[in-house]
A = this chain, B = another copy of it.
Amino acid sequence: MTAPHPPFAVAVDLAVFTIRDGALAVLLVERGEEPFRGSWALPGGFVEPDEDAEQAAWRELREETGMARFPGHLEQLRTYSAPDRDPRQRVVSIAHVALAPDLPEPQAGTDAADARWWVVDDLLEGDDGPTLAFDHRQILLDARERVRAKLEYTTLATEFVAEPFTLPELRRVYAAVWGTPPDLGNFRRKVLGTDGFVVPTDVRGEATEAGGRRALLYRRGTATVVSPPMARG
C-alpha cells in the first residue's frame, strides 16, 4: 500500500446484445485507429475522472448507439487486466453487458470507421467472422455465457423485447440465446406461473402475414428472479 504504484488507464468495454432475425447479435465497431486499426472490437472508452465505471458505460452506450435514452439493461461483467492486453500501455478494462430490444442501425462514432450488428454465433462458432481486437473475443465469450445463464434464473429476457410484447416473441428470445426453443406449453406455464414475470394487457397483437391466431400482449412485471430456474435445453 505504501510503494509507488504505476499509472494505469481504466477503460470500459461493452457487449451490447439484441435479438435480430431470431439470432443473438452484438454491436461491434471497426477501429479507425491503431492499434488494431481496421479490426472489429467491442465499443468502449476510457473512464473520466468524475465518473464511475457504470456511468462511463452508460455514456459510451449512448454515444455508440446514438440513443439519448438507451432503453435496456446494463450490468458489470468482469474486469480484464492482463498486463499485455493493450500493446500501447497498461489498460485494465471493466467489461459490461447490455441488453436491448431491436435497435436502429448504429452510427459510427468519432473513433470508429464503422459500426454494425453481428450475429454472435458467426463471431464465436464459425471461422467466418473477423478476429476481434484485444481480448474482446474472450470478453464476448464470457458475456454470452452470462446472458445465457441469467435467462435461466431471472426475468432478463423481457429486456430483449419492446413493450408491449407477446409470449411467442419472448419465447423467441430464449430460442435465440439458447439455440433451441423451450417447449411451448412448459414455457407458458413457467412464465405465467411466475408471479410478476409478465402482466397481461387485454389487447391482442397484429396478425402476421401468414395468418394464425393473434397473440395476447404483455408488459414486463416487477419480478426479477425465476425460482426454480427455467431449465436450459
Interface residue ranges, A against B (CB under 8 Å): 1-3, 5-10, 33, 44-54, 76, 78-79, 81-83, 90, 92, 94, 111, 228-229
CB distance from A88 to the nearest CB of B (A): 10
Contact status B1-A9, CB under 8 Å: no
Residue among B1, B49, B79 making CB contact with A33, cutoff 8 Å: B1
Give A42 Cβ to nearest chain B Cβ, in Å: 12
Give Cα A6–Cα B94 distance, bound, in whole angstroms.
16
In the complex, which residues of chain B have a beta carbon less than 8 angstroms from the beta carbon of A1?
Answer: 33, 44-46, 111
10 more contacts with CB within 8 A, not counting A10-B92, A79-B79, are A1-B44, A1-B111, A2-B33, A7-B8, A7-B9, A49-B83, A51-B83, A52-B83, A76-B79, A228-B229
28 A–B pairs (Cβ distance < 8 Å), ordered by A: A1-B44, A1-B45, A1-B46, A1-B111, A2-B33, A3-B46, A5-B9, A5-B47, A6-B49, A7-B8, A7-B9, A8-B47, A10-B81, A10-B92, A49-B83, A51-B83, A52-B82, A53-B79, A53-B81, A54-B81, A76-B78, A76-B79, A78-B78, A81-B94, A92-B92, A92-B94, A228-B228, A228-B229
Query: How far apart are the CA atoms of A83 and B8 in the complex, in Å?
Result: 15
Is B81 a contact of A47 with CB atoms below 8 Å?
yes
Given A92-B10, A92-B94, A228-B228, A5 contacting B46 (CB threshold 8 A): yes
Cα–Cα, bound, A127→B44 (Å): 42
- Closest chain-B Cβ to A78's Cβ sits at a distance in Å of 6
The CA-CA distance from A227 to B45 in the complex, in Å, is: 38
Known interface pairs A46-B1, A76-B78, A228-B228; A92-B53 also in contact (CB < 8 Å): yes
Shortest Cβ gap from A154 to chain B (Å): 12
Chain B residues with Cβ below 8 Å from A48 are 6
A64, chain B: closest CB distance, angstroms = 12
Most central of A3, A6, A10, A229 by chain B CB within 10 Å: A10
Which of B3, B10, B228 is close to A8, meaning CB atoms less than 8 Å apart?
B10
In whole angstroms, how far apart are the Cα atoms of A222 and B90 in the complex?
36
Among A5, A7, A45, A50: residue with most chain B CB under 10 A: A5
Cα-based distance from A6 to B7 in the complex (angstroms): 9
When distances are taken between beta carbons in the complex, the residues of chain B under 8 Å from A92 are: 10, 47, 53, 92, 94
